[in-house]
Structures are given as structure tokens and as C-alpha cells.
A and B are shown apart, each in its own frame.
Chain A
Amino acid sequence: MTASITIDRNPTQQYLLRLGDTCLILGQRLGEWCGHAPILEEDIALTNMALDLVGQARALLTHAGRAQGFDEDQLAFLRDERDYLNPTLVELPRGDFAFTVLRNLMVATLLKGLWQKLADSSDAELAAIAGKAVKEARYHQQHAADWVVRLGDGSDESRRRCEDALAQLWRYTPELFEADAVDEAAAASGLGPRWADLQAGWAAEVGEVLAEAGLVPPAESAFRSTGKRGVHTEHMGRILAEMQYLQRAYPGGAW
């Protein structure tokens, strides 16, 4: 059994890990579709996107770990749950296909906005990662938007499933744009944008797709999820158990 690593909680590190963990955990969730997607072509598409996200996570975690001498695998597999800083939205179980594509739309729109801004980051390595990732995020967003419109504006069953998914997912979106000291520090140093600064653009882009799909988001509730602060739902422990098992049981294991 390998002991956990402990990461610095300075604002830069937290900013990088929020982004890296968003990619890592959603990549893992999408990977769960491998062999289970409704059609072969979609199976390949979802796993392609999972691999894009894992690739982005690798670059970000490598970058984030360097200051403390950790590598990407240590950061991905040897942290305790509360040291993962992804927003709660991405850790929710994969749900049905409507849930998956709707969440992909929400996250890809966020990531696309972030990557676009991060291309001008004062951190040259982060800017380089962003320059590559923005193309992937653009495709992920288009793919998800296409399906949301098809399903929302499709059969009775597909519309019902989209409405259910939207009702479940929507309350996890305000967390994405909550302002805090981590984002303030990043904005001040030029590391990257406050996620809150992306909210208006995100709402417009997602709103346009939902409108085309004939879907109406629920009213905003007072509920706030807290994944970006490391306080997760019960789903996080399960997904980490699956991800970490091998590295914990066989330290440094590789093939």
C-alpha cells in the first residue's frame, strides 16, 4: 500500500489542479462508456474524448507537480480525496446518454472558454497546453451540442431523459463560477481568468443550445456544491477507488 502524497495548497497549485482534475475525472467518467455506448461510432467518439481529456490532465498534472517533485501519476493516483479540486459536476456518475452529453456540453463550453483565455497565460507552459487543448474542447462542445439538440428535440423518451438530466445537472453549475481567492490570485498574476469571468459567455452559449433543443433550465436554487474546495460527494470516493487501486496495490506499476 503506497502512502498518499500531500500537495501544497497555494493558490497557483489550486488553480492548476482545479483545471487538471476537471479533465482527469471527466475523462475517467467518459472512459466508463467504453464498450457501453449506444452505437459503435459513439463508443469510439466518447472514448476519443476521454483520451483527449486524460491527455490534457496529464499535461496539467505534470506541470502542477513539478514544483514539489511529483510526477503526473503520483498526482493522479496518490492524492487523498480532499486534495482533488474538480467541481462536483464532473464526478457525478455517468448516468444515461442524455446525462452524459448534457454534462459534456456544460463542461466543454467551460473548458473551451478557459483554454481560450489561458492561451494568453503568463505561465508559458500553461499557455502552450491551452493552445493545443482548445481545439479538442471545440470539438467536444460541438459533438455534445449536436446530441443535445437531437435528443431534446427528438422523441418523447429522448426529451424526457434530457429534461431529467438537466434537472439533475443544473444545480451543480453555479459552483463553476463562484469567485474566490484562488481565482483572484490567478487573475492578479496573469496566470488565468477568474472562472466567474466566463459565466456570461458560458450561459449564452449553453442557453443557445438548450433553446434550440427546446429545453428550459430549472430556476436557480440556493444549493452550492463544493468540489473545487475539495469537499466532494459520495461518488468521488468510488471513482477514486477504481482509479487508484492499481497504483496503491502495485506502487509504480506500469505496462
Chain B
Amino acid sequence: MSETNTPNPTATEWPLWEVFVRSRAGLDHKHCGSLHAADAAMALQMARDVYTRRQEGCSVWVVRSTDITASDPGDKGMYFDPMEDKVYRHPTFYKLPTEVDHM
């Protein structure tokens, strides 16, 4: 076993958290960045200080980055390209009654 004087940074740094801010009631929480924090309470507090300084939000979520399961960028072609020629999946072919405005 080899001993090293520089510990693996991922073993010594606080875990990474992803921050989601809702800008107004009724809108979605949007991902706005990430930060390091020791636990959820600290992450929330820091998110408030780092990401809502200019009145950006009315609600904040934090999620451990490791809890997010992401699609593989290498699978992008297989995952998303087949939808390119399937315009019929867009609801643009319906005739709306005139009474139903702004759909």
C-alpha cells in the first residue's frame, strides 16, 4: 500500500450540492449552481447567501449531487435523436375551438 501526503480531495472536501431556486410562486425551481457544504442545513443556508443575494428567489432546494442520476452524454444519439422526425408528437395539429384562447 502506498502512503500519500496529499489526501484525495474528494475524501476531505465537503460534499457537493446542487442548488435550485424558484424565482416566483407558481414557477418551477430552476437549477442555478452548486456549492460545497457539510450537510443539508448548511447547504440551504449557503445557497441563500450565494444564490439569492439579488432577490432571485422565494424558495430554495438543495440536492446532493451524488443523488442525481444523469443520462450518459455518449447515449445522446440513441436517447434523443429518434424524436427529430416525429413532429406529430407536437400538439400543433389540433384545431382549437375559438373559445379556448391562449393554449
Contacts and interface: CB of A to CB of B under 8 A. Distances in A.
A156 interface: no
Interface residues on A, range: 10 to 19
A41 B41 contact: no
Interface in B37-57: 37-38, 41-42, 45-46, 48-50, 53
A44 B53 contact: yes
B46 A41 contact: yes
B50 A44 contact: yes
A39 interface: yes
A39 B12 CA distance: 14
A150 B45 CA distance: 13
B35 interface: yes
Contact of B36 (A39, A142, A146, A150): A39
A216 B29 CA distance: 42
B41 A146 contact: yes
Given A41-B35, A41-B36, A41-B37, A146 B50 contact: no
Nearest to B43: A41
A48 interface: yes
A150 B37 CA distance: 12
Nearest to B47: A41
A56 to B, nearest CB: 17
Nearest to A51: B53
Interface residues on B, range: 10 to 19
B77 to A, nearest CB: 38
A45 interface: yes
Contacts of B37: 41
Nearest to B14: A39
A143 interface: yes
A44 B49 CA distance: 7
Nearest to A154: B38
Nearest to B13: A39
Contact of B50 (A41, A139, A143, A150): A41
Interface string A138-153: 0100110010001000
9 contacts: A41-B37, A41-B46, A42-B46, A44-B50, A44-B53, A45-B45, A139-B48, A146-B42, A150-B42
Given A45-B49, A48-B53, A146-B45, 15 more contacts: A39-B36, A40-B50, A41-B37, A41-B46, A41-B50, A42-B46, A44-B49, A44-B50, A44-B53, A45-B46, A45-B50, A139-B48, A142-B45, A143-B45, A150-B42
